[in-house]
Amino acid sequence: NAGVTQTPKFQVLKTGQSMTLQCAQDMNHEYMSWYRQDPGMGLRLIHYSVGAGITDQGEVPNGYNVSRSTTEDFPLRLLSAAPSQTSVYFCASKLTSGGTNEQFFGPGTRLTVL
Amino acid sequence: GENVEQHPSTLSVQEGDSAVIKCTYSDSASNYFPWYKQELGKGPQLIIDIRSNVGEKKDQRIAVTLNKTAKHFSLHITETQPEDSAVYFCAASLTFGNEKLTFGTGTRLTIIP
């Protein structure tokens, strides 16, 4: 199992550009989520999905879109990047049943918006 | 919504000594409290968790205690080793299985050889 994979590892954007952060998991997890990590602020939930075709907003959803067309993939889209979106982004996945609530995190994408 | 405060933000301990990290939460309805460890350049990894029907849980050198009345929970690491150096995050959610985890701001633990 590759676990949770994220691409790219690093990205630099100019203000107003758009891009998609990719996330994939091969553990057949129903739940997937996106967090951003900023210095001194911990991890904050952006969007999450409990299964294909179902998404919902987290704590900081503005400026980000998601979709979940398959169980494996959960891309995060920035439609018009802003400097405030400079951050490290983590994707995570977990089972929604089975007695464990462990979230498995990917290695992260470091995004800089100039 | 839930608010989780974590202290200290940095902690240095001699190898072999114990380390304690404390968190408080605001929503008395929260009942699931995980701890994650993040090594440099990697994503966080679950190391231990506790549900509100349990006051303490141990896993080898790591233990978590929960005081629901005071709304605080703590991570205890005994006999610290260099590989314990990392950033540790506490978190809370309303129910076990609830997707909306609220994280603390993290503690950078450094083990001094």
Nearest to B44 by CA among A46, A108, A81, A7: A108
Angle at A45 between CA B41 and CA A54, to 5 degrees: 120
Cα–Cα distance measured from residue B39 to residue B46, given in angstroms and rounded to the nearest whole number? 12
Beta strand B62-67 pairing with B56-59: antiparallel
Instruction: Look at residue B75 in the predicted model and tell me its pLDDT.
Output: 98
| pLDDT of residue A105 exceeding 70 | yes
Range in A12-16, A25-29, A94-98 the model is least confident about:
A94-98
pLDDT band for position A67 (50/70/90)? very high
Average pLDDT over residues B12-24: 98
Cross-chain CB nearest to A48 (options B36, B96, B99): B99
Average pLDDT over residues B81-94: 95
Average pLDDT over residues A88-110: 89
**List of chain B residues whose C-beta atoms are within 8 Å of the C-beta of residue A43:** 44, 89, 103
- A53 burial (CB, 10 Å; 0-12 / 13-18 / 19+) is exposed
C-beta atoms of A42 and B45 within 8 A: no
Residue indicated by tokens 């409990």: A50
Cross-chain CB nearest to B105 (options A31, A42, A90): A42
Q: Is some CB atom of chain B closer than 8 A to the CB atom of A68?
A: no
A90 to A87, B32, B38, B59: CA distances (angstroms): 10, 21, 12, 26
3-state secondary structure chain B: CCCEEEECCEEEEECCCCEEEEEEECCCCCCEEEEEEECCCCCCEEEEEEECCCCEEEECCEEEEEECCCCEEEEEECCCCHHHCEEEEEEEECCCCCCCCEECCCEEEEEEC
C-beta atoms of A42 and B104 within 8 A: yes
pLDDT tens digits along B34-78: 999 999 999 999 999 998 888 999 999 999 999 999 999 999 999
SS3 (DSSP) at A85: helix
Instruction: Look at residue B96 in the predicted model and tell me its pLDDT.
Output: 66
Query: Which residues contact residue B101 at a Cβ distance below 8 angstroms, ignoring those fewer than 6 apart?
Result: A45, A103, B34, B91, B92, B93
| pLDDT of residue A99 exceeding 80 | no
* Token pair in block for residue A80: 């018009």
SS3 (DSSP) at A18: coil
